[in-house]
């Protein structure tokens, strides 16, 4: 299923900047960045639960915000994009 993850991490101090880097790194491990703090991740249910737990442990719920949107398996009809696209789609093959 396609999961859209957005976050807003308070970076007013060094701890916040560290949290921001950790959140971004975990999201990169599971999906692709489509905007600065927005990631598209193709996950199964177990991966989704794992990533949610990891991110919840990283953020400070008093200062940061994490939003997770579950778009399901038929996400192609739910996404409309206008403008420059960053990279390849999450469901396309990447050959290195």
Would you say 64 is a known binding-site residue? no
Please report the pLDDT score of residue 38 as a whole number.
94
Please report the pLDDT score of residue 73 as a whole number.
79
Please report the pLDDT score of residue 85 as a whole number.
72
pLDDT tens, residue by residue, 69-91: 998 777 766 766 677 776 656 55
pLDDT tens, residue by residue, 44-62: 999 999 999 999 999 999 9
C-alpha distances (whole Å) from 64 to each of 10, 16, 32, 33, 74 are 6, 9, 21, 19, 30
Q: CA-CA distance, 96 to 93, in Å (whole number)?
A: 10
Q: For residue 59, which of 13, 23, 6 has the smallest C-alpha distance?
A: 23
Average pLDDT, the chain: 87
Answer whether 69's CB lies under 8 Å from 3's CB: yes
* Residue 15 pLDDT grade (very low, low, confident, very high; cuts 50, 70, 90): very high
Mean pLDDT across the stretch 5-23?
96
Please report the pLDDT score of residue 94 as a whole number.
46
Answer whether 32's CB lies under 8 Å from 90's CB: yes
Q: How many helices (H) and strands (E) does the chain have?
A: 2, 4
């Amino acid at each position: 299923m396609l999961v859209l993850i957005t976050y807003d991490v308070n970076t007013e101090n060094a701890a916040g900047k560290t949290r921001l880097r950790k959140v971004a790194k975990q999201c990169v491990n599971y999906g692709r960045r489509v905007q600065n703090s927005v990631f598209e991740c193709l996950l199964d249910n177990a991966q989704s639960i794992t990533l949610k737990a990891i991110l919840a442990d990283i953020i400070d719920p008093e200062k940061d915000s994490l939003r997770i949107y579950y778009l399901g398996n038929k996400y192609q009809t739910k996404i409309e994009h206008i403008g420059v696209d960053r990279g390849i789609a999450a469901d396309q093959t990447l050959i290195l």
